[in-house]
Amino acid sequence: MDTFFQWISYIIDNSGLSMLRGARNTLIISFVATILGCLIGFVIGIVQTIPTNKNDHAIKKFLLRLIRVALGVYVEVFRGTPMMAQAFFIFFGSALLFNINMSMWFAAFFIVSINTGAYMSETVRGGILSIDPGQTEGAKAIGMTHYQTMTSVILPQALRNIMPQISNNLIINIKDTCVLSSIGIVELMYASRGAAGANYRYFETFTLTMIMYLAMTLFFSRLLRVIEKKMEGELNYDLATHDTLAHTSGMYNYPMKEGKR
């Protein structure tokens, strides 16, 4: 075998199954961690936007401030350090300091989830603040609590606004799970390194790996873009009304009498 494509075919025949299993694990970790990270981000985003006023008890203000400081430290630490360093610190540090031996799957989900949650928390906070404050005031005017306002009024609109960033985080996680191979997680990069070591054909093996990563990211980026468009809804709407005199679009034109303009 002398040609590039012959080696590619050979690698697919001999190591293709293990690489596909690695790609499957990559997708599972990415999807689960993105969902968990989004949940973490939404919780932190809601906590960071809890309003306070002069009438609140001092203990409530103190506890809320303390929680916000702790969450702020978490966000800055995990946004300001690389995921590979976080993986080493969490996986080996938990065993050394607390005698906690994480399973490979738990470690993968935990590491990627908390990393994603740190980024998503700022995204959610920005999405919440992007909603017109008048909607929050209107919800409070009709007696809704902060929780009800968030879940029924603000978050549905914020979710639509931050959907592109959620899609972006999923694509990033598909690629960044490769750092988990450094702690023994069997994902696509780990399987690719094994295939390259067995065949001593690194260029051909990692060319195939790049194609697999590209195929996954392109497919899901297009799929999520379709979901984004569905969430935007129709461009034009007719006003729903029970008034028999009103036109279905919400407008009614009264005919002008003769001699009047």
Query: According to the model, what pLDDT value does residue 34 have?
Result: 94
Query: According to the model, what pLDDT value does residue 92 have?
Result: 92
Neighbours of 106 (CB within 10 A): 12
- Can you tell me the distance from the alpha carbon of 146 to that of 49, in angstroms, rounded to the nearest whole number? 9
Burial 8-17 (b: 16+ CB within 10 A, else e): beebeeebbe
DSSP 6-28: HHHHHHHHHHHHHHHHHHHHHHH
Q: Is 42 exposed, middle or buried, given 0-12, 13-18 or 19+ CB atoms closer than 10 A?
A: buried
Size (the chain), residues: 261
Query: According to the model, what pLDDT value does residue 252 have?
Result: 45
Q: Is 210 exposed, middle or buried, given 0-12, 13-18 or 19+ CB atoms closer than 10 A?
A: exposed
Tokens of 146: 């902060």
Q: Is 226 exposed, middle or buried, given 0-12, 13-18 or 19+ CB atoms closer than 10 A?
A: exposed
Tokens of 172: 């990033």
Per-residue pLDDT of the chain (261 residues; tens, 9 = 90+): 578 888 899 999 999 999 999 999 999 999 999 999 999 998 898 888 787 777 778 888 889 899 999 999 999 999 999 999 999 999 999 988 888 888 889 999 999 999 999 999 988 888 888 888 888 888 888 888 877 888 888 888 888 888 888 999 999 999 999 999 989 899 999 999 999 998 888 999 999 999 999 999 999 999 988 888 887 766 555 555 555 555 554 444 445 555 555
- Can you tell me the distance from the alpha carbon of 111 to that of 78, in angstroms, rounded to the nearest whole number? 10
